Amino acid sequence: MNILVTGASGQLGSTLKSIANTVPGLHFAFASSKQLDITDFEAVRNEMDKNNYAYCINCAAFTHVDNAESETDKAKLINVTGARNLALNCHEHKTVLIHISTDFVFDGYMNEPYREEDIARPIGFYGDTKYKGERAIINNLQEHFIIRTSWLYSEFGNNFMKTMLRLGAERDELSVVYDQVGTPTYARDLAKAILHIIKAHSIDYGVYHYSNEGVASWYDFAKAIFDEQGIQVTLNPIRSEAYPTPAARPKFSVLDKEKMKSTFKIDIPNWRDSLAVAIKAYAKLPA
């Protein structure tokens, strides 16, 4: 079974590459954004013409939340046009599309975990483009799995865990917001869930939520990182207003995973347990 992974040099793509050899019978083609530009319809068509892909896992996205407020055309091109290009080509080539979306499609004003059917109300341009990308897929391709995730981190790429480990080694004191609540998600757990869906040959297409179990603020996440590594640093909880950013963040973006768990019969680890695994994996990488 041939599988195309777009955006393969990012966190999730790199993670999929690191565990690809654990699944016999699946043959992956990993294409970075430079190798395959999903905003180029003909480039995507040519790639799919040359190979009989059963699945396409789209990890390509414009994910710079703050930059999306100023680079609107670029964010829309990648997150909306790119998603539509993949959906149209997957339809033409009878390929199932697994597309990664985000908790940022919600406004964060609820006080209970978001379900898949809850109304999307993005409060920033990044979330708006990701939601429009979802709609572009839904409107053009029946055979899709859209997986919304949150607070993704791993031993690869740029992410909060690695930033905190670096800053914790450089500084004696840090301030981190405590009034934004969600769930950290280890990319390896998400990657395993994606491969589980593929191995199950599921036709339960639609939108799903996946994050690790549990709830945390960014302050909680940072403290857990320092505790796990035994880093001594004074950590100050601050409100979001004390750390202004170009794009507003949802104050509450915990995702309900019941649909994912019941449909695919998977166990989802707690974020604290996965953090310990991630830090050990990062420590093993060559310097």
User: Which residues are marked as active site?
Assistant: 126
Distances (CA, A) of 36 to 8, 49, 74, 158: 10, 14, 16, 21
Shortest CA distance to 182 belongs to which of 208, 223, 211? 211
Alpha-carbon distance of 196 to 7, in angstroms, equals 20
- DSSP codes of every residue in 3-24: EEEESTTSHHHHHHHHHGGGST
CA separation for the pair 150, 102 (Å, rounded):
6
Number of Cβ within a 10 Å radius of residue 80: 21
The Cα–Cα gap between 99 and 85 comes to 12
Exposure letters 27-65 (e unless 16+ CB within 10 A, then b): ebbbbbbeebbbbebebbeebbeeeebbbbbbbbbbbeb
**Residue 55: in which H helix or E strand, if any?**
strand 53-58
Number of H helices, E strands in the chain: 10, 12
